[in-house]
Amino acid sequence: MRFCPNLNWKNLFTKSRNFAASFQRASTTSSYSSSAAAMSNLQILKTKLCIIGSGPAAHTAAVYAARAELKPILFEGWMANDIAPGGQLTTTTDVENFPGFPDGILGGELMDRCRKQSERVGTEIYTETVSKVDFSNRPFKVFTDAKVVEADSVVVATGAVAKKLPFIGSGDGPDGFWNRGISACAVCDGAAPIFRNKPLAVIGGGDSAMEEATFLTKYGSEVHIIHRRNSFRASKIMQARALDNKKIKVIWNSVVVKAYGDENNQRVLGGLRIKNVETGVESDLKVSGLFFAIGHEPATKFLDGQLELDSDGYVVTKPGTTKTSIDGVFAAGDVQDKKYRQAITAAGSGCMAALDAEHYLQEIGSQQDKSD
């Protein structure tokens, strides 16, 4: 390129910089206008309490809040985390450990009843998935694709999803054995008749796997722990408890590659195809039950770091309460409980969250009255 000495480079640079600034302002204005237009298309609702979730914790919170005349709005989600409204109980069959049902009840039916009770006492329910929240200002904002709720308080009860392994036969389709021999909760399902006095298997190597295997020895004839490594990551005491149990056997360095049906009834689990990861040799293991014990994933991504989470992604609550790191935001159920993960404990924490929210709203109401 030839240098031109008579060209006023300073003026050219100034004009170029001014053009860039104008372009940036125009882009920012355009972006803001697009965002504002998108916001203007959302239906705006206002409430004292917004509940996010659809399981026992969410609906218990809704019942208590509605009876306290907080007029709660509840977003139950639509296939949020690939689970239907109602949470993990909708993926189970018989629930035999929820009080009040001596003959047991189907998980889906239990959640249908919870939903009807929430509606009967006055909860406003929307089958929409919450995509994001804004807890930086008050009132808090809860967004779906169609609505934005301005809420004085929020209960997060989005639960946690059990991690599964994707091998042949592990799903819930016509060729899968999910809920027909495969489960992710020994405490929930282990006492079912199809598992009693039958050989069972657990996949995992942590404390949960040791605990579930030990629990299953109460019902199964024997329990196999299948682990892909040659050592467990579980605590020493939990390892010792499992390894000292004569009904527990360990299959080291192995993974499940296929689940198949029973010879006499192809609709229920009959066995597993196991592969040794070191030798590549495959073998059959006849079992009537398989339990995943490889952890859970709490549904907290939509929070976008606005609440304090622990190292595993669970919402941190103040001991003895459902209070989170932000005043006015509460968490209940499995989204903040990595230990118990039961329907009844979730329901109990949902009650706590509603009461905590009611007390919070009374406090801020009293402060506003004083300022007025």
Higher pLDDT, 93 or 271: 271
pLDDT band at 41 (very low <50, low <70, confident <90, very high): confident
- CA distance linking residue 201 with residue 221, whole number of Å: 11
Q: Is 188 a catalytic residue?
A: yes
- Catalytic residue from among 94, 189, 334, 337: 189
- CA distance linking residue 168 with residue 171, whole number of Å: 8
Please answer whether residues 307 and 156 qualify as being in contact, where contact means their C-beta atoms are separated by less than 8 angstroms. yes
Decide if pLDDT at 57 tops 50: yes
pTM summary value: 0.75
Decide if pLDDT at 100 tops 70: yes
Higher pLDDT, 26 or 179: 179
Q: Is 207 a catalytic residue?
A: no
Least-confidence region, from 17-26, 160-169, 318-327, 360-369: 17-26
Q: What is the pLDDT of residue 13?
A: 45
Please answer whether residues 344 and 308 qualify as being in contact, where contact means their C-beta atoms are separated by less than 8 angstroms. no
Q: What is the pLDDT of residue 151?
A: 98
pLDDT in tens, 318-369: 999 999 999 999 999 999 998 888 999 999 999 999 999 999 999 998 666 6
Q: What is the pLDDT of residue 172?
A: 84
Please answer whether residues 89 and 344 qualify as being in contact, where contact means their C-beta atoms are separated by less than 8 angstroms. no
Average pLDDT value for the chain: 88
- CA distance linking residue 206 with residue 215, whole number of Å: 14
Count the neighbouring beta carbons within 10 Å of the beta carbon of residue 217.
Answer: 17
Mean per-residue pLDDT for 45-54?
97
Q: Give SS3 for 371.
A: helix
pLDDT band at 90 (very low <50, low <70, confident <90, very high): confident
Please answer whether residues 168 and 269 qualify as being in contact, where contact means their C-beta atoms are separated by less than 8 angstroms. no
pLDDT in tens, 194-207: 999 999 999 999 99
Tokens of 23: 């372009």
Whether a cis peptide bond, with omega within 30° of 0, leads into 99 is no
Mean per-residue pLDDT for 112-119?
97
Decide if pLDDT at 40 tops 90: no
Tokens 């990595």 map to which residue? 338
Tokens of 19: 């053009």
Decide if pLDDT at 30 tops 90: no
CA angle 202, 107, 203 (to 5 degrees): 10
- Catalytic residue from among 188, 334, 337, 356: 188
Mean per-residue pLDDT for 37-54?
86
Decide if pLDDT at 371 tops 80: no
pLDDT in tens, 237-246: 999 999 999 9
Q: Is 185 a catalytic residue?
A: yes
| CA distance readout (Å), 122 to 50, 335, 355, 356 | 13, 25, 17, 19
Please answer whether residues 328 and 154 qualify as being in contact, where contact means their C-beta atoms are separated by less than 8 angstroms. yes
- Catalytic residue from among 50, 94, 114, 185: 185
